[in-house]
Each structure stands twice: as structure tokens, then as C-alpha cells.
């Protein structure tokens, strides 16, 4: 295993951790208007208040790692996706401001609650659209982006944006099922019972459309020897989804959340099957985009120190704030 592969794994892990950990608090923001004003909204906020900002550490890790380890990919992707990426950052910033201000500025709480919802929704849609735009391909000439300003906006990218929105909403609902009790717990259980099938339908639509975007994807999923593995994925995905849905119905709160995380992990595995070893799918491999080995070694030393620290304080914060939450805030 060379340095470039090690860095590809580090960035893939950082992105996966971000999706797992920030996905549920973005999902709660998306579901927020469905909760009555007052106790249930406060309870939902309390379920993520101790951890939401720490969750975004992984986004910084993934984005910073991509810039440092694969600078060519960064130089191509940014001009191709300026609009959705800027929208994502603005959504995350506005959402964070709204999160803090709603506790102190009670006279404008409706405004901050709306900001929390729209910031979460815009950030999630932008992430999904970015993924779809990468999968459908970026027009490159030489070593630079050669497409137009609106190339990212297609029916497929909108489908991936909608799919991620429903997926994060499901993750947020199952997190609240696990972390809350009372009226809010019962409400999100009802939501999760219909979010599960909606999630399966949308992910199924994206999965069926993706192999026809690039010959490489089609060969990985429908031709031997990859077919030996990929043929099992729909059954595995459906089985986990059924167990998660039963967990919701039978009141097995933790099981429902874990199954949703496993479904996210399976979608990321499917994404890896489609694009590996490319950093820009179908266009640029990780080796073509990699920084010089001396730079990779220098950064790897920092990563060896930082990643255990991030994992340690993340695990500690989740342990300290374990258990069900009430209506009294942490602020």
C-alpha cells in the first residue's frame, strides 16, 4: 500500500465519519418544522447540542485533506462546483448561528428556528447535488475544468440531493427515537415508519441510474467478476432496512439507529465500488491527482497525531452526554 492509497483511505474515512455524525443533526434540522413550538423543539435541540459542532470537525478533516493530498482534484472540483459548495458552506454557517441565537434571543426565536431549518435543508441539498454532479462526470481538458457554470444542475444531481435530504431526515429521526422519550419520541417513530420506505425508493432510483452514467460504473456492477459481489448488495441493503424498520415498529430504539447507520455505510461501499481508484469519478485517478511523496509524508505525521485526538474527544463527548435527554437545555 503506497502513500497515495493511505491518504485516499484517510479522506474516505473522514467523509464517512462526517456523513454518519453530522447527518443526524442535519436531519433533525430538516425535520424541525414538524415539531410543535416549545418543549419538543427544545428537546430535539438538546439531543444534538453537546455534539453537533464537533461532528463538523470531520468535514474540515476531509476537505483539508483533499486540498493537501490531492491538489489537482481540488483545483478541478472547486470551479466546477462553486455554486453548490458555497451554498453548503453558507447553509452550515447560518444554521450554526441560528442554533446558538435561538436560546438567547427569545424575541426572534421563530426567525432563528426557520434559519435552523433552511440552513440544514440547503446544506444537505447542496451536499447531495455535489455528489450527483461528481458521479455524472466533470468536463476536463488537460488538467483543468472546461465545463460551464451550470453543468452541475441536472435531473440526476437533483435526485441525489433529494435522496440525501430524505436519508438525513431518516437518520435524524432514528437518532431522536434513541435519545428522547415522551411525545417527541412517539412523533419521530411515526415519521421514521414512512421515511424508511421513502429512503429505499430514492436510494434505489439513484442506484439504478448510476451505472448508466459511465461505462466504468456499468462494468463494475453488471459484469464479471464484480457482479459476484454487487449482486449481493440489494439483498443485504433490503435485509438491513427491514430489520431497522422492525426496530422502529417494535420499539427497539438503538437497533433502528444502528441499522440506519449500516445502510449509510452500505451506500458508501457502493459508491466506492463505482469510482475506485478515481478521485474525480471517471476522469482523474488518485495517483494522477496526488501531491509529491515528501508532502504526503509531512502531512501524514500530522494526521497520525490529530486523528487519535479527534477520535478520543469525540468518544469522550458522546460518553459524557449518553442517555436520554429532557427539555432542559445545555445552554
The full set of domains in the chain, from first to last, is 3-321 (1.20.1630)
Q: What is the overall mean pLDDT for the chain?
A: 90
For residues 317 and 326, the model is more confident at 317
Alpha-carbon distance of 273 to 253, in angstroms, equals: 31
With bands split at pLDDT 50, 70 and 90, how would you rate the model's confidence at 328? low
Whole-model pTM above 0.95?
A: no
- Which residue has cell 497525531? 305
Classify strands 284-285 and 278-280 as parallel, antiparallel or unpaired. antiparallel
The pLDDT score that the predictor gives to residue 231 is 87
Q: Each residue of 35-88: pLDDT tens digit? A: 998 888 989 998 888 888 888 888 888 888 888 889 998 899 999 999 999 999
Average pLDDT over residues 182-210: 92
The pLDDT score that the predictor gives to residue 330 is 56
- Which residue has cell 430524505? 166
The pLDDT score that the predictor gives to residue 166 is 96
User: Within 13 Å and on the Cβ side, how many CA atoms surround 119?
Assistant: 19
- The DSSP symbol for 223 reads S
Average pLDDT over residues 13-34: 92
Does an H or E element contain 109, and which? Answer: helix 109-136
CB 301 within 8 A of CB 7: no
Q: Give CA 116 to chain center in angstroms.
A: 17
The pLDDT score that the predictor gives to residue 329 is 57
- The DSSP symbol for 209 reads H
CB 117 within 8 A of CB 169: no
The pLDDT score that the predictor gives to residue 327 is 64
CB 136 within 8 A of CB 157: yes
With bands split at pLDDT 50, 70 and 90, how would you rate the model's confidence at 222? confident
Amino acid at each position: 500500500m503506497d502513500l497515495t492509497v493511505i491518504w485516499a483511505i484517510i479522506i474516505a474515512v473522514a467523509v464517512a465519519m462526517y456523513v454518519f455524525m453530522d447527518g443526524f443533526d442535519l436531519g433533525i434540522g430538516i425535520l424541525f418544522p414538524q415539531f410543535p413550538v416549545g418543549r419538543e423543539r427544545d428537546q430535539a435541540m438538546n439531543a444534538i447540542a453537546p455534539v453537533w459542532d464537533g461532528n463538523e470537525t470531520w468535514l474540515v478533516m476531509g476537505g483539508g485533506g483533499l486540498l493537501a493530498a490531492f491538489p489537482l482534484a481540488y483545483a478541478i472540483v472547486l470551479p466546477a462546483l462553486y455554486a453548490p459548495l458555497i451554498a453548503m458552506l453558507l447553509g452550515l454557517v447560518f444554521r450554526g448561528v441560528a442554533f446558538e441565537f435561538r436560546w438567547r434571543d427569545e424575541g426572534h426565536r421563530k426567525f432563528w428556528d426557520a434559519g435552523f431549518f433552511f440552513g440544514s435543508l440547503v446544506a444537505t441539498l447542496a451536499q447531495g447535488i455535489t455528489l450527483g454532479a461528481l458521479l455524472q462526470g466533470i468536463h476536463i481538458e488537460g488538467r483543468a475544468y472546461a465545463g460551464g457554470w451550470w453543468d452541475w444542475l441536472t435531473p440526476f444531481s437533483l435526485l441525489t440531493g433529494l435522496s440525501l435530504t430524505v436519508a438525513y431526515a431518516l437518520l435524524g429521526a432514528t437518532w431522536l427515537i434513541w435519545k428522547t422519550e415522551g411525545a417527541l419520541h412517539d412523533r419521530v417513530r411515526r415519521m421514521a415508519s414512512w421515511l424508511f420506505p421513502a429512503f429505499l425508493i430514492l436510494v434505489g432510483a439513484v442506484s439504478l441510474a448510476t451505472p448508466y452514467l459511465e461505462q466504468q460504473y456499468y462494468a463494475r456492477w453488471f459484469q464479471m467478476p464484480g457482479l459476484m459481489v454487487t449482486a449481493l448488495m440489494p439483498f443485504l441493503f433490503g435485509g438491513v432496512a427491514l430489520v431497522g424498520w422492525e426496530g422502529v415498529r417494535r420499539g427497539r430504539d438503538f437497533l433502528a439507529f444502528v441499522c440506519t447507520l449500516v445502510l449509510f455505510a452500505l451506500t458508501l461501499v457502493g459508491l466506492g465500488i463505482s469510482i475506485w481508484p478515481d478521485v474525480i469519478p471517471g476522469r482523474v485517478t488518485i495517483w494522477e491527482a496526488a501531491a509529491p511523496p515528501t508532502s504526503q509524508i509531512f502531512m501524514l505525521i500530522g494526521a497520525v497525531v490529530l486523528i487519535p485526538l479527534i477520535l478520543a474527544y469525540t468518544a469522550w463527548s458522546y460518553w459524557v452526554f449518553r442517555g436520554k435527554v429532557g427539555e432542559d437545555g445545555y445552554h
